[in-house]
Structure 1
Amino acid sequence: MKLITILFLCSRLLLSLSQEVVSQEVDCDDEDVFQAVDAALKKYNIRNQTGNHFVLYRITEATKMVGSETFYSLKYQIKEGDCSVQSTKSWQDCDYKMPAVEAATGECTATVGKRSNNKFSVATQTCKITPAEGSVVTAQYTCLGCVHPISTDSPELEPVLRHAIQHFNNNTEHSHLFALGEVKKARRQVVAGWNFELTYTIVQTNCSKKNFLFLTPDCKSLLNGDVGECTDNTYMNPELKIAAFSQNCDLYPGEDLVQPLPKHCPGCPREIPVDSPELKEALTHSILKLNAENNSTFYFKIETVKRATSQVVGGQKFYIEFTARETTCSKESNTELTEACEINSLGQSLSCSANVYMRLWENKIFPTVNCQPLDMNIMMRRPPGFSPFRAVKVQETNEGTTRLLRSCEYKGHPQKAGAEPTLDQWAESSHLAQ
């Protein structure tokens, strides 16, 4: 049940961040902030099997993220209390362990969601604990929403790498096909599916795109051919289909350079006008493919075609770059996208690339579409080393405006066991100069 809850929270967080997100500055003495911290600290204490409960010392950062769901991004400090984890007491009933030099301390970062019933649930949390005498120990929960390194030889990377190599070969105008070289780094994150972060090398083969549409066993790496290094981010949904993909590759020329292609090359990609009539069918199949694989409530419609190429390869292959935007037609009320479906100017926008291979005499069309969301607001980030006793001016950065708000130190403890503290007992706020 806990596993299902974590998966649900992580997927809701991912869905919320993939839509338009508004980050609000929120003071750390806000009642909802303390309830979120309370939920996070209680969860941390429950996971400890030995020792004492930890007690809230200070909240240093708090950001409220409002999208389709509400989440709080928090950073707070804790101190070891005088209550054993074996007791029935909550952390609010405990005092700090004395003498202070014998008490462990820690700093935690957490993402906490607020549900419609005003309950708070912890999506992710990491705490760095400093023992009374010793170095910092990182307590990393078994968090399905966290990124973890995995073996570069893992079999689960095979479909991801196969897609990556095919994507590179289909989306570059190099004269030859490339094959996988070496996987240098691999990381995975579980988010109602899987996110993969990969770094790998690619090598040029002896197969030209003029003669080969795909890599085959006959394609061998050239000893001194061109090489490259790629970094990919891939999302694979629970149905094991790649639903989102981005790739960044740097190519380096080899010693034996391939002769440049002639200016007029019958089998090479050629630029075509974005309003060319020959694109009509390819665009139709591209948007059909996008809507079939997209989980959005509304149909998408092509808004702008940015670039297009055509290539004759035992058929005709189109490469198209375009933007698509949500329409006013929902999939629940409409069986398909029609001309009557108007673009919603406030709807989600996607940046897409499509490869459409067509063999019309056999009535065969094979579209592949990859899209990334646009118009995403970047969350505000606070600078590292933030201290509640240091005044910091507002800074304009490329990622938005960074502000430091108030730091709240936990002051009061309930007079009676089990009593709920008042807001005045919870915290004392000190305003920082802006």
Structure 2
Amino acid sequence: MKLIAILFLCSRLLPSLTQESSQEIDCNHQDVFKAVDTALKKYNSGNKSGNQFVLYRITEVTKIDNPDIFYSFKYEIKEGDCLVQSDKTWQDCDYKDPAQAATGECTVTVAKRGNEKFSVATQTCQITPAEGPVVTAQYDCLGCLHPISTSSPELQPVLRHTIQHFNNKSDHLHLFHLHEIKSAQRQVVAGWNYEINYLIVQTNCSKEKFPSLTPECTSLSNGDIHECTDKAHVDLQLRVASFSQECSLYQGKDFVQPLVKICAGCPRDIPVNSPELEEPLNHSIAKLNAENNAVFYFKIDLVEKATVQVVAGKKYSIVFTARETTCSKQSNEELTESCEIKKPGQILKCNASVYVVPWEKKIYPTVKCQLLGQRHLRSCEYKGRQQEAGAELVPESEVN
């Protein structure tokens, strides 16, 4: 069997913001390569014809403990010279001639279970043929837990079973019924696994007079509240075959219903991807680029929060992150869609206030930004097969 030599030019992504559950790690980590190998084999196995793709470069690796270990990363691929129907893996292939080869980039999350088992949770690949438009391929892990709607009818039989179990086993003198479903997940196995988090509330029906819940049972305003998490397995005959239940008690006097605030002139949240934000954001980034002294233009990378308030017009308050681009102000009259994010590059955390007066066709943006830092990006480049023995990971070297 042909031996493989892998040359990685690596380093870490130094985070501008840290999170308790995630960290950016070196892309030459042994587990990262195993995760990429799993993802690329999964992608190649999904193609019924044509050639396999071969790893070219790994970037932007994040390790997440949640509490299982997940690796989230991007990797670039090039078309190889091995057919997908062959018994070879991508590591046995050479790159196809660049003029005739398709290329692509994949964004993937891979779970690690135990010491060696890796499985793809989600994967989306953007493939550019040798000559042609970008094609998107997506793989979702059908055997993994995925969120489902809390209003899904399929949850009702499970909840009826588990709430009945709670009422039968608890020492409380009153029956409880469903108050709110907070979250739900489903996993397709030989049947279905469900994980449901919900609230149940004490009713006016005592166990002494009511053996089970009836339409007469209503919530007590000062009744006790239990927050429960159930894990249930439903078999192919749609029966609850097994389940576990954990509940925490909130005394009635300690449970406060959230107040519903009605205020016509108060700020209200709007989705960060709302088309309504397009114009305020365009004016915000234009204002930012006009007022700062940076050599390169900045572009909006992520919108974190947005509100709108009806005044004499509309006032938008937006929190966003802006990243330095490759377009210099000296060579470009304005920021365009073709301006790519610069790596490494500066990052700004910005608060924008945009006052829009539609009947005057006027917009007044104000933007205040704080420098978060600079991301020092290195990537890991796969150098392909060699005939010599002793494949190894070479020392780090920065890729500009």
Normalising by structure 1, report the TM-score. 0.43
Q: TM-score, normalised by structure 2?
A: 0.46
